[in-house]
């Protein structure tokens, strides 16, 4: 079953079928149905890329502000674990200013998550020195953890079974204040899922965006104060290589390296899977730039160099003075998360490719416009109900071209398409027939003046106003046409539709000739009758006025017809 992650919501009305989210999703955990995007919960790794890139803001992080307010109203002390990236998000603001503002919101107190980071990095150092490991991957990033659990379960043995800094810090807070509630505040959507999955450690998670809105609603301003302290080395944690900066890196035979960006993490995991990497400690961060490049930071406060400088200038050179908890309390278990998607057989795959208009490998363009790297990946997604055939841009273009070509080719009306230079770009058989042209090759690319009066086209081009149903005689071709000229493609093209009305015009002229002849006959009759009537009237002593009027009316009625 596909479910939406609890920490992400979708505003369906805002989803405009642009496929930008699937193009940026590193694990393609988005399906499309009814032209709407749906996040597949059991496949999503909560990297937040879809949230960042969505041009319509259709992806939203669930706001837990009300949940936190309820915790505060419970009467228990509510402690904040503040992610060290806060110093990059709130320019010139240090922990003392943040603590003061958070207390005004009703929190009991606030501490830096970097305290928990100090405990975690010490446990990493101990593991590498005292335990037998080949490859060890840091477990601070919940998105990286989900990536391994869902897509690289065979490499779970490489994932350090250690609490994240958020968990280690909140656990330590509850050890010191047994009745305390803990709230983590940071730039990450995945932390909301981590808090829900590992119950009893972190009671709620807010993003910097949620905190900023809350502070604004309460009219609380953060004071500019940022005192660096020597005992704050773990403040480096939210930067690429920040974990390594805090570690002793003294385990014999190990190479220490940092990788950021989900694509780089996937590439490294594939190398580990193939057995190409050994005796390494790898700091893995899903976000480029690590946590200072988190989804909330990237969308609303993207400044990687300035953010790194803010963190480095605030970080000290020594560890925080923390009491290291027992090893057993810092451990956690990672289980594989099974993927439910079924792969199609080769026959089923070929059938889907044919439906996509891919009858041979050369037609598989792998353009990526649908969001998938290859046409075959897209076909697999269609089989799994995640994608629709209509998502293929070349397929749609070809289909649209075929339909428009069929219409133009079989239309009884002449159709001519001109560019903004009034050069013929397209002409259909009916137009060729009207202008006595043998083939489109004889006019394509040439100025329209070669075959038609350019004045109406120039007028439409200059004014941007269409000309509709203008009857024109094409003397060169001996034809009458009803001509419509309209701008197309934002004024870059002109579309001319000509309806051949020569037969209608000929019939009208014949009718006019018959009417004219009838009028002449009537005139002669009137004239003759007048003479006769006048002769009779002279004999009878009557005027011929009434007879004249009656016959004149007959003449007028014939003329009107």
Determine how β-strand 424-427 pairs with β-strand 204-207. unpaired
Residue 197 half-sphere exposure toward CB, CA atoms < 13 A: 19
| pLDDT-derived band at 4, boundaries 50, 70, 90 | very low
Q: What is the mean pLDDT of residues 502-526?
A: 83
Q: Distance (Å, rounded) from C-alpha 141 to C-alpha 190? A: 8
d(CA 484, CA 469): 5
**SS3 call for 364:** coil
Q: Please say if the pLDDT value at position 3 is more than 60.
A: no
How high is the pLDDT of residue 376? 87
How many angstroms separate the first and last alpha carbons of the chain?
75
137, 145, 149: which is closest to 166 by C-alpha?
145
Helical H segments across 131-241, by residue range: 142-151, 165-176, 190-197, 208-217
- Which two tokens mark 506? 């000929």
Q: pLDDT band for position 364 (50/70/90)?
A: confident
CA–CA gap between residue 56 and residue 153 (Å, rounded): 35
Sign of CA dihedral 503, 508, 511, 512: negative
Q: What is the pLDDT of residue 106?
A: 97
Structure-model confidence comparison of residues 399 and 152, the more confident one: 152
Confidence of residue 372 (pLDDT cuts 50, 70, 90): confident
pLDDT confidence of residue 59: 84
SS3 139: coil
- Supply the pLDDT for residue 545: 60
pLDDT surpassing 90 at residue 534: no
Listed range (18-22, 183-187, 362-366) with the worst mean pLDDT: 362-366
User: Rounded to whole angstroms, how far apart are CA atoms 17 and 33?
Assistant: 10
Distance of CA 203 to the CA centre of its chain: 33
Label residue 355 by pLDDT band (50, 70, 90).
confident
Q: By C-alpha distance, which of 78, 181, 123, 189 is closest to 332?
A: 123
Q: Give the model's pLDDT for residue 474.
A: 92
Q: Enter the tokens of residue 373.
A: 């790297």
Band the pLDDT of 16: cuts 50, 70, 90: confident
Query: What whole-number distance in Å separates Cα of residue 111 and Cα of residue 561?
Result: 97
pLDDT score recorded for residue 371 = 76
Burial 351-371 (b: 16+ CB within 10 A, else e): ebbeebbbeeeeebeeeebbb
Among 194, 14, 184, residue whose Cα is nearest residue 102: 184
Nearest residue to 297 (alpha-carbon basis) of 251, 244, 238: 238
Cα separation, 237 vs 166, whole angstroms: 12
Most confident of 46-60, 128-142, 360-374, 406-420: 128-142
Confidence of residue 540 (pLDDT cuts 50, 70, 90): low
Quote the pLDDT of residue 559. 62
- What is the residue whose two structure tokens read 């002279």? 538
Question: What ranges in 315-374 are assigned the alpha helix state H?
Answer: 346-355
Mean pLDDT of the chain: 88
At 198-223, the pLDDT tens digits run: 999 999 999 999 999 999 999 999 99
Give yes or no for a contact between 375 and 358, defined as CB atoms under 8 angstroms apart: yes
Partners of 398 in the beta sheet? none
pLDDT at 561: 59
Q: In what order do the strands lie in the sheet with 255-260?
A: 135-137, 280-285, 255-260
């Amino acid at each position: 079953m596909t479910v939406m992650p609890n920490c992400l919501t979708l505003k369906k009305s805002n989803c405009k079928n642009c496929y930008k989210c699937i193009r940026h999703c590193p694990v393609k955990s988005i399906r499309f149905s009814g032209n709407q995007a749906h996040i597949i919960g059991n496949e999503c790794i909560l990297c937040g890329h879809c949230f960042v890139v969505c041009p319509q803001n259709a992806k939203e992080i669930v706001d837990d502000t009300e949940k936190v307010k309820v915790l505060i109203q419970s009467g228990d002390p509510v402690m904040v674990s503040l992610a060290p990236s806060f110093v990059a998000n709130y320019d010139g603001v240090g922990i003392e200013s943040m603590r003061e503002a958070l207390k005004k919101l009703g929190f009991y107190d606030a501490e830096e998550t970097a305290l928990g980071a100090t405990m975690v990095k010490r446990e990493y150092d101990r593991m590498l020195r005292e335990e037998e490991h080949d490859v060890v991957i840091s477990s601070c990033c919940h998105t990286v953890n989900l990536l391994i659990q869902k897509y690289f379960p065979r490499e779970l043995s490489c994932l350090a079974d250690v609490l994240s800094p958020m968990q280690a810090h909140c656990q330590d807070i509850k050890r010191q204040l047994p009745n305390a509630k803990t709230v983590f505040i940071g730039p990450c959507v995945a932390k909301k899922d981590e808090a829900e999955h590992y119950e009893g450690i972190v009671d709620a998670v807010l993003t910097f965006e949620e905190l900023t809105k809350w502070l604004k609603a309460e009219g609380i301003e953060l004071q500019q104060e940022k005192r660096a302290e020597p005992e704050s080395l773990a403040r480096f944690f939210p930067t690429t290589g920040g974990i390594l900066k805090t570690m002793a890196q003294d385990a014999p035979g190990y190479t220490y390296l940092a990788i950021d960006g989900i694509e780089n993490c996937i590439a490294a995991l594939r190398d580990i899977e193939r057995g190409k990497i050994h005796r390494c400690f790898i700091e893995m961060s899903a976000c480029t730039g690590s946590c200072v490049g988190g989804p909330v930071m990237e969308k609303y406060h993207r400044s990687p160099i300035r953010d790194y400088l803010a963190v480095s200038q605030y970080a000290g050179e020594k560890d925080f003075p923390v009491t290291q908890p027992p090893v057993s309390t810092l451990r956690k278990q990672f289980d594989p998360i099974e993927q439910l998607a079924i792969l199609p057989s080769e026959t089923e795959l070929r059938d889907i490719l044919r439906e996509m208009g891919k009858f041979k490998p050369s037609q598989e363009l792998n353009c990526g416009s649908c969001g998938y790297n290859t046409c075959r990946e897209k076909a697999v997604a269609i089989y799994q109900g995640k994608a629709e055939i209509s998502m293929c841009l070349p397929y749609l273009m070809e289909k649209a071209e075929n339909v428009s070509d069929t219409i133009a080719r079989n239309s009884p009306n002449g159709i001519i398409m001109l560019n903004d230079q009034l050069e013929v770009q397209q002409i259909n058989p009916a137009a060729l027939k009207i202008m006595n042209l043998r083939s489109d090759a004889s006019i394509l690319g040439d100025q329209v003046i070669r075959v038609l009066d350019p004045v109406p086209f120039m007028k439409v081009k200059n004014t941007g106003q269409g000309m509709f149903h203008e009857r024109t005689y094409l003397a060169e071709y001996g034809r009458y046409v009803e001509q419509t000229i309209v701008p197309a493609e934002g004024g870059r093209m002109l579309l001319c539709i000509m309806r051949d009305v020569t037969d209608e015009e000929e019939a009208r002229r014949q009718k006019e000739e018959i009417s004219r002849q009838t009028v002449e006959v009537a005139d002669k009759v009137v004239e003759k009758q007048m003479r006769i009537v006048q002769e009779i009237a002279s004999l009878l002593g009557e005027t011929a006025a009434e007879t004249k009027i009656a016959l004149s009316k007959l003449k007028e009625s014939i003329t009107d017809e």
